[in-house]
Structure 1
Amino acid sequence: MALSLFSKTEIEPPADIEAASLRSDRFRLEREVDWQRLEAIVTALEKNRPKRISDDDLLELPVLYRKTASSLAVARETSLDAATLHYLEALVRRAWFQIYGPRIGLTGWLRYFLGGGWSASVRAIWLDICIAFAVMVAGTAVGWLLVERDESWFFSLVPGGMSGGRVPGADPEVLRETLSTTDDANGLGVFAAYLFSNNTGVCIMAFALGFAFGIPTLLLLVYNMALLGAMLWVFADAGLGWEFGGWLSVHGTTEIGAILLSGAAGMHVGRTMAFPGKRSILSAMRHAGVCAAQVMAGCTIMLIVAGLLEGYARQLVGDMGSRYMIGGGMLAFWVLYFAFVPKPQEHET
Structure 2
Amino acid sequence: MNAAVSAPSAIETAALRSDRFRLDREADWKRLETIVTRMEKGRLKGISDEDLLALPGLYRTVASSLSIARETSLDAATLAYLESLVQRAWFVVYGTRSSLWEWLRGFLGGGWSAAVRSIWLDLLIAFAVMVAGAVVGWILVSHDPEWYFSLVGREMAGQRVPGASEEVLRSTIFGQSKESGMSVFAAQLFSNNAQVSILAFALGFAFGVPSLLLLVQNLATLGAMAWVYHRVGLAVDFAGWIAVHGTTELFAILLAGAAGLHIGRAFAFPGNRPVLQAAGEAGRRSAVVMTGVVLMLVIAALLEGFARQMVDETFGRFVIGGFMLSLWCVYFFAFRGNADAVLDRR
- TM norm. shorter chain > 0.5: yes
Deviations 1:105-164 (A, max 9, x none): 111111100111000000111111111110111111111111111122112211001111
- Larger Rg: 1 or 2? 1
Alpha-carbon distance in structure 1 between the residues aligned to 2:93 and 2:70: 26
How far apart, in 2, do the equivalents of 1:64 and 1:109 lie? 22
Q: 2:245 aligns with which of 245, 251, 257?
A: 251
Percent of matched pairs sharing the same residue? 55
- What displacement does 1:73 show? 5.7
SS of alignment partner, residue 221 of structure 1 = helix
Residue 197 of structure 1: how far off its partner (Å): 3.9
The answer on whether the counterparts of 1:168 and 1:234 sit within 8 Å (CA) in structure 2 is yes
**Unaligned regions of 5+ residues in structure 2, if any?**
1-5, 7-14
1:327 maps onto 2:321 in alignment: yes
- What TM-score do you get using the length of structure 2 for normalisation? 0.79
Q: CA RMSD in A?
A: 3.8
| Residue in structure 2 matched with residue 18 of structure 1 by the alignment | none
Structure 2: how far apart are the matches of 1:280 and 1:131? 24
Match of residue 304 from structure 1: 298
Alignment of 1:62-81 (within 5 A): 66=54, 69=57
Alignment of 1:223-242 (within 5 A): 223-242=217-236
Would the aligned equivalents of 2:103 and 2:342 in 1 still touch at CA under 8 Å? no
Match of 1:207 in 2: 201
Contact 1:250 1:326 in 2 (8 A): yes
| Correspondence 1:337 to 2:331 | yes
Match of 1:283 in 2: 277
Which residue identity lines up with residue 207 of structure 2 in the other structure? Answer: F
SS at match of 1:178: helix
Aligned 1:81-160 pairs, distance under 5 A: 91=85, 94-95=88-89, 97-98=91-92, 103-160=97-154
Give the partner amino acid of 1:146: L
CA distance in 1, matches of 2:198, 2:242: 22
Partner residue in 1 for 2:11: none
User: With structure 1 as the length reference, what TM-score do the two structures score?
Assistant: 0.79
C-alpha separation in 2, matches of 1:23 and 1:155: 83
Shift of 1:208: 1.2
Letter in 1 for 2:156: M
Deviation larger for 289-298 or 94-103: 94-103
1:229-249 CA-partner distances (Å, limit 9, x unpaired): 111111111111111111111
1:35 offset after TM fit, Å? Answer: 2.1
CA distance in 1 between partners of 2:310 and 2:224 (Å): 26
Q: Which moved more, 1:339-348 or 1:310-319?
A: 339-348
- Find out whether 1:295 has 2:289 as its counterpart: yes
Asked if the contact 1:209/1:216 (under 8 Å) is kept, the reply is yes
Deviations 1:24-69, CA, capped at 9 Å, x for gaps: 8645314426624743774x568x6x49x9xxxx668975994994
Q: Map Cα deviations across residues 222-265 of structure 1 (whole Å, 9 max, x no partner).
A: 11111111111111111111111111111111111111110110
- Which AA in structure 2 matches 1:126? W
Distance 1:307 1:172 in 2: 27
Q: Which residue of the partner structure matches residue 3 of structure 2?
A: none
Change (3 A) 1:195 1:236: closer
2:29 corresponds in structure 1 to 35
Look up the SS of the partner of 2:117 in the other structure: helix
Residues 71/270 of structure 1: CA separation in 2 closer, same or farther (3 Å cut): closer
Residue of structure 2 in register with 1:17 after alignment: none
SS state of the match for residue 292, structure 1?
A: helix
| Structure-2 separation of matches of 1:74 and 1:25 | 16
- Supply the distance in 1 between the matched residues of 2:342 and 2:200 (Cα, whole angstroms): 29
The whole-number CA distance in structure 1 between the counterparts of 2:214 and 2:110 is: 29
Offset at residue 23 of structure 1 (A): 8.7
Amino acid at match of 1:220: L
**1:117 match: secondary structure:** helix
CA distance in 1, matches of 2:244, 2:159: 21
Name the residue aligned to 2:170. Answer: 176
What is the one-letter code of the residue matched to 2:246?
G
Residues matched between the structures, number: 323
